[in-house]
């Protein structure tokens, strides 16, 4: 009977390891005081960001993440642990977690996250949640790049306009060239 329990645990570790490899961005949360109804409500909210909540036992979670070899990650696994596996945008998942944590005081605690192979502490996760959405960040980057380029284009257009104006002024200020054989151009050619 003990072998069956061990096989079930090993299968659970393998399944969690597979889930972590397919979704490398995940958040670690403490779910000690989270009621089952609140966990279900949180799962429903996470569906919007294609994320999912997996509640694991501390030791099984540690065994699953040991393979990632990220310093300090194992220390976040204390008590009841919930892994929020981010689907597409980890920023949206972080926002949903922070909003849920604020609405359900002290029932869910954010301990950290692994984003693009880097371990973030709880404070960094809060900073991540406060960032604007990805499309807005991209728009800000484009505006940052576009502004100096627009200034350069405007300056070049102005220089070209100034050069054209100077050429017109110079052409208008110079008298027409004189012919040495005909010093008076109004009379016509001399015979």
76 shares its domain with 136:
no
Residue 188 lies in a domain: no
- Read off the DSSP letter of residue 176: P
Residue 50 lies in a domain: yes
55: phi then psi, degrees, rounded to nearest 5: -90, 125
68 shares its domain with 152:
no
Cα angle 126-31-9, degrees, rounded to a multiple of 5? 120
142 shares its domain with 120:
no
81 shares its domain with 7:
yes
67 shares its domain with 14:
yes
Token pair for residue 90? 């980890």
pLDDT digits (tens, 9 = 90+) for 156-165: 888 888 888 8
| Better-predicted residue by pLDDT, 72 or 18 | 72
Closest CA to 113 of 25, 16, 22, 19: 25
Cα angle 37-40-41, degrees, rounded to a multiple of 5? 90
Q: What is the mean pLDDT of residues 172-188?
A: 67
- pLDDT value at position 185? 58
The Cα–Cα gap between 22 and 86 comes to: 10
Residue 66 lies in a domain: yes
How does residue 47 score in pLDDT terms, banded at 50, 70 and 90?
A: confident
Residue 189 lies in a domain: no
Q: What is the mean pLDDT of residues 140-154?
A: 80
- pLDDT value at position 92? 85
40 shares its domain with 70:
yes
CATH code at position 70: 3.30.70.1730
Residue 175 lies in a domain: no
What is the b/e burial string over 161-182, where b = at least 16 CB atoms within 10 angstroms of the residue's CB? Answer: eeeeeeeeeeeeeeeeeeeeee
DSSP β-ladder status, 52-56 and 26-30: unpaired
The Cα–Cα gap between 43 and 97 comes to: 10
- Spatial neighbors of 125 by CB under 8 A, at least 6 apart, are 27, 94, 97, 98, 110, 112, 113
- The total number of structural domains in the chain stands at 2
Q: What is the mean pLDDT of residues 67-92?
A: 81
pLDDT over 90, % of the chain: 0
76 shares its domain with 112:
yes
Residue 149 lies in a domain: yes
85 shares its domain with 163:
no
159 shares its domain with 110:
no
Domain that includes residue 141, residue range: 132-169
Residue 186 lies in a domain: no
Q: What is the mean pLDDT of residues 87-110?
A: 82
Q: What is the mean pLDDT of residues 129-134?
A: 81
Q: What is the mean pLDDT of residues 40-62?
A: 83
120 shares its domain with 161:
no
The Cα–Cα gap between 108 and 27 comes to: 12
**Tokens 């306009």 sit at which residue?**
161
122 shares its domain with 86:
yes
How does residue 128 score in pLDDT terms, banded at 50, 70 and 90?
A: confident
Residue 31 lies in a domain: yes
Q: What is the mean pLDDT of residues 15-44?
A: 81
Query: Max Cα separation, the chain?
Result: 130
114 shares its domain with 77:
yes
DSSP β-ladder status, 52-56 and 118-121: unpaired
Token pair for residue 17? 């390891």
């Amino acid at each position: 009977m003990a072998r069956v329990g061990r096989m079930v645990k090993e299968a659970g570790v393998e399944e969690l390891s597979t889930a972590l490899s397919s979704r490398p961005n995940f958040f670690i949360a403490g779910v000690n005081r989270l009621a089952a109804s609140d966990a279900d409500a949180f799962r429903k909210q996470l569906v919007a960001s294609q994320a999912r909540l997996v509640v694991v036992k501390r030791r099984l979670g540690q065994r699953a993440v040991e393979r990632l070899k990220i310093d300090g990650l194992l220390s976040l696994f204390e008590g009841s642990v919930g892994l929020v596996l981010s689907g597409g945008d980890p920023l949206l998942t972080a926002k949903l977690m922070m909003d849920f944590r604020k609405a359900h005081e002290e029932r869910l605690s954010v301990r950290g996250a692994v984003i693009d192979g880097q371990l973030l502490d709880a404070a960094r996760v809060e900073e991540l949640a406060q960032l604007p959405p990805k499309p807005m960040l991209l728009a800000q980057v484009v505006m940052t790049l576009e502004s100096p380029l627009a200034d350069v284009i405007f300056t070049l257009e102005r220089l070209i306009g100034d050069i054209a104006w100077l050429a017109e002024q110079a052409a208008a200020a110079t008298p027409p060239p004189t012919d040495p054989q005909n010093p008076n151009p109004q009379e016509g050619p001399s015979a």
